[in-house]
């Protein structure tokens, strides 16, 4: 389910009260660390020296990501986002699933590197860090809902540990990789299509696309069904089979690792933060390339069935003619938030001139089939809910009409309306009136549930869910809705007449 929580921008620490506090703030805020060992003055000096080295390397990038660094650094964590923590490790990176750890032993190739120098300093310490060889220790939960404690408590945590090179014999490499790794979790709300794209697939694209498929995905809370469902997309982002972090007990070694995923907002990609100014439209092109091979196979099967007939049937000839009309797809819901007069809506749309398709996807529906249906549609209608995530499958320039029930205005616009505009869709948010809601027959006309839904949703998620999401259906005022549908039809027809477009049928 989509949780309706407004976000607040992260604010940096504005100041400190005492010198000692200021000193700690420098280490913690700049390095964004989970924690450091602080028992040895020499080690603290080492860390500050490392920090200064990084500072010189990154001077041109201080206002960008704090972890765009060279091999001079060890583990760098960006914890500035309210949504996610992302840590980067460069050097000799080794996994140890048994202890939920990823170890870094400096660079494999640079024997005279800064990390070797750091290790020598640690070697000269008596006891403490000198015995364990631990330089730095971070803790990360690689899931993109950092602010939501209830779900983050269910996500597996990783220990990221930097050690001196001489300790590198602790975990022998079973599998060597010559490309980087990206670690992330498919736990949390995975199982809900909105969260699968918003919290997982789009952030995975944002984090990994610059590697140009030369990257290995290492998955915590690995689900076979998830890998199967999104396998076509994963193959467009990586040339390698995903690794089950818990299930694969081998020690995998990488030259670099990113732990955690970057996220830019709801179902979107911020081009200003991407290499090559990649946008959500570029992400959709990845989906297009991922699903087209399967779609072409479906089309070939249908063509074979048609050729098997001696002559085209009247129905087939009619279908060819109908394909010239704008196509309307209705994402139909069963249960709550369903359109109770959907049959009349279909009839009215046909009278306006649309050819109408009704689609009721569930968790078992193949994504390529959903993509094909929406990619070939000129207009989509659906009631607010997770299934609206499928607007990502529509061609830019298409029309998306979201029916917005009572009590869901903010969520509908934030999670789907605004992102749809960024994709280049013509978005229409149809806010229902109280008489169009099934709640009109359940509550007194002066009840806040009808008169002031925002006052009810402010009482908490459970009230929103039980009243407006699980307890509400919609009966469209067809006279009022018709105006929007006619406008969508005329707009789509004008596009068909002015721009021939390639599309799957």
Q: What is the pLDDT of residues 297-329, one digit of tens each?
A: 888 877 777 766 655 556 655 555 666 899 999
Nearest Cα residue to 463 out of 412, 407, 415: 407
Q: Which two tokens stand for residue 379?
A: 């207009």
Neighbours of 344 (CB within 10 A): 13
Q: Which two tokens stand for residue 324?
A: 């010239």
* Mean pLDDT for all residues in the chain: 84
Reported as a pLDDT band with limits 50, 70 and 90, residue 25 is very low
- List, in order of start, the domains of the chain with CATH numbers: 19-263 (no CATH), 287-498 (3.40.50)
Q: Which two tokens stand for residue 169?
A: 């014999």
The pLDDT value given to residue 280: 98
Q: Give the model confidence (pLDDT) of 252-264 as tens digits.
A: 999 999 999 999 9
Nearest Cα residue to 409 out of 399, 400, 418: 418
- Secondary structure of 182-245 in the HEC alphabet? EEEECCCCCCCHHHHHHHHHHHHHHHHHHHCECCEEEEECCCHHHHHHCHHHHHHHECCCCEEC
Q: Give the model confidence (pLDDT) of 207-236 as tens digits.
A: 999 999 999 999 999 999 999 999 999 999
- C-alpha distances out from residue 438 to 173, 196, 336, 359, 450, Å: 62, 30, 10, 23, 11
| Cα gap 159→107, rounded to integer Å | 19
Residues 6+ apart with CB under 8 A from 18: none
**pTM of this prediction?**
0.83
Contact at 8 Å (CB) between 282 and 125? no
Give the burial string for 274-301 (b: 16+ CB within 10 Å, else e): beeebbbeebbebbbebbbebbeeeeee
The pLDDT value given to residue 47: 54
Element (H, E) at 328: strand 327-331
The pLDDT value given to residue 202: 98
Pairing of strands 101-104, 158-163: parallel
């Amino acid at each position: 389910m989509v949780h309706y929580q407004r976000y607040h921008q992260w604010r940096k620490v504005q100041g400190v009260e005492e010198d000692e506090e200021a000193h700690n703030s420098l280490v913690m805020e700049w390095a964004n660390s989970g924690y450091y060992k602080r028992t040895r003055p020499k080690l603290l000096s080492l860390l500050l020296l490392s920090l200064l080295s990084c500072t010189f390397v990154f001077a041109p990038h201080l206002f960008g990501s704090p972890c765009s660094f060279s091999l001079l650094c060890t583990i760098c964590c960006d914890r500035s986002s309210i949504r996610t923590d992302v840590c980067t490790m460069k050097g000799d990176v080794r996994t140890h699933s048994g202890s939920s750890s990823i170890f870094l032993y400096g660079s494999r190739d640079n024997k005279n590197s800064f990390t070797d120098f750091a290790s020598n300093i640690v070697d000269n310490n008596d006891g403490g860090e000198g015995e364990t060889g631990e330089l730095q220790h971070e803790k990360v939960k690689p899931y993109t809902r950092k602010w939501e404690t209830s779900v983050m408590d269910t996500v597996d945590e990783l220990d990221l540990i930097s050690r001196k090179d001489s300790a590198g014999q602790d975990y022998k490499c079973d599998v060597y990789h010559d490309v980087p790794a990206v670690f992330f979790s498919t736990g949390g709300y995975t199982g809900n299509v909105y969260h699968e794209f918003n919290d997982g697939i789009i952030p995975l694209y944002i984090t990994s696309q610059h590697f140009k498929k030369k990257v290995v995905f290492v998955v915590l809370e690995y689900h076979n069904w998830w890998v199967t469902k999104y396998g076509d997309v994963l193959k467009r982002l990586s040339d390698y089979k995903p690794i089950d972090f818990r299930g694969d007990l081998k020690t995998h070694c990488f030259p670099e690792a990113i732990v955690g995923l970057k996220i830019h907002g709801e179902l979107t990609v911020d081009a200003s933060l991407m290499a090559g100014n990649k946008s959500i439209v570029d992400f959709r092109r990845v989906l297009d390339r991922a699903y087209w091979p399967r779609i072409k196979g479906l089309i070939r099967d249908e063509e074979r069935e048609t050729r098997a007939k001696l002559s085209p049937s009247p129905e087939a000839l009619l279908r060819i003619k109908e394909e010239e009309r704008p196509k309307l797809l209705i994402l139909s819901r069963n249960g709550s938030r369903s359109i109770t007069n959907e049959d009349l809506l279909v009839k009215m749309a046909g009278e306006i001139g649309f050819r109408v398709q009704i689609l009721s996807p569930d968790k078992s529906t193949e994504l390529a089939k959903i993509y094909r249906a929406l990619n070939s549609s000129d207009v989509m209608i659906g009631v607010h809910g997770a299934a609206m995530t499928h607007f990502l499958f529509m061609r830019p320039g298409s029309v998306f009409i979201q029916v917005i029930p009572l009590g869901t205005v903010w969520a509908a616009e934030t999670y789907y309306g605004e992102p749809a505009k960024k994709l280049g869709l013509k978005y229409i948010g149809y806010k229902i009136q109280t008489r169009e809601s099934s709640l009109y027959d359940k509550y007194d006309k002066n009840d806040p549930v009808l008169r002031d839904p925002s006052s009810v949703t402010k009482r908490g998620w459970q009230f929103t869910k039980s009243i407006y999401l699980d307890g509400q259906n919609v009966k469209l005022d067809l006279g009022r809705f018709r105006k929007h549908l006619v406008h969508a039809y005329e707009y789509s027809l004008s596009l068909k007449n002015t721009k021939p477009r390639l599309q799957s049928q």
